[in-house]
Structure 1
Amino acid sequence: MADSKAKTRVAVAGLGAIGADVVKALDRGIDGLMLVAVSASSPEKHRGWLAELKTAPEMVPIEQLAEVADIVVECAPSKVVRAIVAPVVERGKTAVVLSVGALLQNEDLVDLAKTHGGQIIVPTGALIGLDAVTAAAVGTIHSAKLVTRKPVAGLVGAPHLVEHDIKIEGITEPLRVFEGSARDAAKGFPANLNVAVALSLAGIGPDRTRVEIWADPTVTRNTHRIEVDSDSARFSMTIENIPSENPKTGRITALSVIACLRKLRASLRVGT
Structure 2
Amino acid sequence: MTVAVAGVGAIGLELARRLDAGDGGLRLVAVSARDRAKAEAALAGFRAPPPLRPLAALAEADIVVEAMPAAAFDAVAEPAVAAGRIFVPASVGALLARPGLIQAARASGARILVPTGALLGLDAVRAAAEGPVESVTLETRKPPAGLAGAPYLREHGIRLEGLEAPTRIFAGNALEAARGFPANVNVAAALALAGIGPERTQVEIWADPTSTRNTHTIRVEAEAARFSMTIEGVPSAANPRTGRLTPLSILAALRGLVATLKVGS
TM-score class, shorter-chain normalisation, is over 0.9
- TM-score by structure 1 length? 0.95
Displacement, 1:49? 3.1
Say whether 1:62 aligns with 2:55: yes
After TM superposition, the structure 1 = structure 2 runs for residues 25-36 of structure 1, keeping only pairs within 5 Å, are 25-36=18-29
List per-residue Cα deviations over 1:28-62 (Å, max 9, x = no partner).
11211111000000011021231321111110010
Counterparts of 2:41 and 2:194, CA distance in 1: 39
List per-residue Cα deviations over 1:57-90 (Å, max 9, x = no partner).
11001011102x1100111111111111111111
Determine helix, strand or coil for the equivalent of 2:255: helix
Runs ≥4 in structure 1, deviation > 2 angstroms?
none
Match of 1:194 in 2: 186
Counterpart selection for 2:41 from 48, 55, 58: 48
- TM-score by structure 2 length? 0.98
Aligned length: 264
Say whether 1:15 aligns with 2:8: yes
Counterpart selection for 1:220 from 188, 191, 212: 212
After TM superposition, the structure 1 = structure 2 runs for residues 168-183 of structure 1, keeping only pairs within 5 Å, are 168-183=160-175
Say whether 1:251 aligns with 2:244: yes
Say whether 1:146 aligns with 2:157: no
Counterpart selection for 2:126 from 112, 121, 134: 134
List gaps (5 residues or longer) in structure 1. Answer: 1-7
* RMSD of Structure 2 on Structure 1 (CA): 0.8
Counterparts of 2:55 and 2:104, CA distance in 1: 18
User: Which amino acid counterpart does residue 264 of structure 1 have in structure 2?
Assistant: L
List per-residue Cα deviations over 1:115-161 (Å, max 9, x = no partner).
11100001000001001001111112110000000001111221111
Say whether 1:263 aligns with 2:256: yes
User: Which amino acid counterpart does residue 257 of structure 2 have in structure 1?
Assistant: L
Match of 2:225 in 1: 233
Match of 1:81 in 2: 73
Match of 1:5 in 2: none
Determine helix, strand or coil for the equivalent of 2:58: helix
Counterparts of 1:159 and 1:49, CA distance in 2: 29
Q: Is the 8 A contact 1:82 1:106 kept in 2?
A: no
Counterparts of 1:195 and 1:232, CA distance in 2: 23
List per-residue Cα deviations over 1:237-258 (Å, max 9, x = no partner).
0000000021100100011111
Match of 1:3 in 2: none
Q: Percent identity?
A: 56
Counterpart selection for 1:156 from 148, 152, 156: 148
Displacement, 1:26? 0.6
Determine helix, strand or coil for the equivalent of 1:12: strand
Displacement, 1:105? 2.1
List gaps (5 residues or longer) in structure 2. Answer: none
Match of 1:94 in 2: 86
